[in-house]
Structure 1
Amino acid sequence: MSSAFFTRKRDELVPAPHARGPWSPDMLHGRLLGGLAARALEERYAEPGLHFARLTVDLFRNSPMLPVTVETALVRDGRRIRVADATIATEQGVIGRASAVLLRQGEQPGGEQTIVTPAWEEPAPDGPPVEGQGWTPPFDLWRLTEWGAPGPGRVWMRDTHPLVEDEPVTPFVRAALAADFASPLSNVGSAGLRYINADYTLTLARLPEGDIIGLESTGHLSAGGVATGHVTLHDTAGPVGFCVVTAVANAAGIGGR
């Protein structure tokens, strides 16, 4: 993998130049903040038999390319549920927060489910992605449908940089990084992407297998400059979870929340 997005310096995580997002050259990418929150929560609260079933990431303030700190707090630790929070900050103050729900795994109930999300028929990519116009993402992105075309959008994606130097990207962190792409995939239109997301909520029935994650946009609603979008996440074995985002209308090239 290529160089990491962040390096450790005492209690801070210092961003590399490629940690910038598409809205502004001096703005940290929101997907990385979600990844850092997932990393800190997993490092502190993961336990065998406890599954990260939900991660909600609030991205309520843009941040320039400054060192980041992540603090965590345990909210509830019960027999079958554990809830924990993370706060993401720079020297300018708090820029985001996250909440995770971990559920105790057990025996799968019997019987057949009446509603089942089907696996998609898209094969895993067998070659390098084709570069598009505009911002080049610092991850591999295979667009399976035309960008902004009517109908559900589909992509495969793969992270090519470690999040933090000398650390592997875990399946949970990989899912958290990929989930932020729910906003552009579900909110893009014929005029391009005109919404910037304020949050995203990832839910997982299981962790993704392998290093490639697929996303399929399965819903968009908007009115008065406010949007909500929905995607299904897949790995090469089938669907793994969902992600819902909220977003606000944003002029091209302007990175304001």
Structure 2
Amino acid sequence: MPTSAFFTKKRDELVPAPHARGPWSPDMLHGRLLGGLAARALEERHAGPGLHFARLTVDLFRNSPMLPVTVETVLVRDGRRIRVADAVISTDQGVIAQARAVLLRRGEQPEGERSTVTPAWDEPPPSGPPPADGVGWKPPFDLWRVTEWGAPGPGRVWMRERFPLVDDEPLTPFVRAALAADFASPLSNVQAEGLRFINADYTMTLARLPEGELIGVESTGHVSAGGVAAGQVTMHDTTGPLGFCAVTAVANAVAMNG
């Protein structure tokens, strides 16, 4: 069992550890980590007092082998109520991902009842360790499957990170949410025969940041045609819903079984 972070910082590069690989190939970086690295850099360089990270869009341009990565950011817009910043993630083979964060200024919450409100789900947090994984790729994070994998109807999981992202840095709530959000793709796109879509992006929207280490994800929609899929999930913590994540995905020739 690995005990180290997913990446080690060496000068301006982040060097992946063996457990940073993804489920599709043993020599492929996991896309969820690229979203986490983008969130980390954007928060570190562009956070501000009174500003909330309301949206993070991560575009996964290409599969990347297990190579050192660099993350560069740029401030796109800085207004009174909105700040926008981009991140570009590269290896020596070129750009592999890009992300955009939208920060909104917090203010007074409007009074009155909303016409549509996402309810808190009725899944209690896990009371023990996750069950032992089966054959195949082992998730390098704690995963409790509340519903059967690939069964009809909305899928539900609880997730908890086990390792730091970079060196011994504590995970911030925003980075923790960005890591969990990538699970929107397998959860919304899985079927009884396995996962036959691989996501090209994800967009996470947050009304608030998660509290605590546990994040719940519930699939709430899937449509697909001609080998292209769109899916969505609702994200929760132990106190209630906190936001959503939407993904687009393309059919993959080899199914991944969970």
Structure 2 length normalisation: TM-score? 0.97
| 4+ residue segments displaced more than 3 Å | none
The residue number in structure 1 matching 2:149 is 147
Amino acid at match of 1:239: P
The residue number in structure 2 matching 1:11 is 12
Task: Map Cα deviations across residues 60-105 of structure 1 (whole Å, 9 max, x no partner).
Answer: 1110000000000000000000000000000000000000000000
Displacement after TM superposition at 1:135 (Å)? 1.4
Determine the C-alpha separation between the residues in 2 that align with 1:194 and 1:148: 11
| 1:24/1:253 contact within 8 Å kept | no
Displacement after TM superposition at 1:187 (Å)? 0.1
Does the residue aligned with 2:142 lie in a helix, a strand or coil? strand
Bigger mean CA deviation after superposition, 1-10 or 112-121: 1-10
| 1:207/1:240 contact within 8 Å kept | yes
Task: Name structure 2 gaps, 5 residues minimum.
Answer: none
Does the residue aligned with 1:228 lie in a helix, a strand or coil? strand
Structure 1 length normalisation: TM-score? 0.97
Q: Does 1:186 align with 2:226?
A: no
| 2:195/2:255 contact within 8 Å kept | no
Matching residue within 218, 221, 233 for 1:219:
221
Determine the C-alpha separation between the residues in 1 that align with 2:33 and 2:44: 16
Amino acid at match of 1:149: A
| 1:186/1:217 contact within 8 Å kept | yes
Q: How does 1:227-246 map to 2 (within 5 A)?
A: 227-246=229-248
Task: Name structure 1 gaps, 5 residues minimum.
Answer: none
Amino acid at match of 2:203: T
Matching residue within 163, 171, 174 for 1:169:
171
Determine the C-alpha separation between the residues in 2 that align with 1:67 and 1:131: 31
The residue number in structure 2 matching 1:67 is 68
The residue number in structure 1 matching 2:35 is 34
| 1:2/1:162 contact within 8 Å kept | no
The residue number in structure 1 matching 2:206 is 204
Determine the C-alpha separation between the residues in 2 that align with 1:20 and 1:179: 17
Displacement after TM superposition at 1:239 (Å)? 0.2
Determine the C-alpha separation between the residues in 2 that align with 1:60 and 1:210: 31
User: In percent, how many aligned pairs have the same letter?
Assistant: 81
Displacement after TM superposition at 1:253 (Å)? 6.1
Q: Does 1:109 align with 2:100?
A: no
Does the residue aligned with 1:194 lie in a helix, a strand or coil? strand
Determine the C-alpha separation between the residues in 2 that align with 1:107 and 1:128: 40
Determine the C-alpha separation between the residues in 2 that align with 1:136 and 1:218: 25
Task: Map Cα deviations across residues 162-218 of structure 1 (whole Å, 9 max, x no partner).
Answer: 000020000000000000000000000111100000000000000000000000000
Determine the C-alpha separation between the residues in 2 that align with 1:180 and 1:237: 21
| 2:196/2:255 contact within 8 Å kept | no
Displacement after TM superposition at 1:106 (Å)? 0.4
The residue number in structure 2 matching 1:94 is 95
Q: How many residues align?
A: 254
Q: How does 1:123-138 map to 2 (within 5 A)?
A: 123-133=124-134, 134-138=136-140
Amino acid at match of 1:32: L
The residue number in structure 2 matching 1:81 is 82
Determine the C-alpha separation between the residues in 2 that align with 1:34 and 1:87: 11
Does the residue aligned with 2:254 lie in a helix, a strand or coil? coil
Determine the C-alpha separation between the residues in 1 that align with 2:254 and 2:132: 20
Displacement after TM superposition at 1:123 (Å)? 0.5
| 1:15/1:66 contact within 8 Å kept | yes
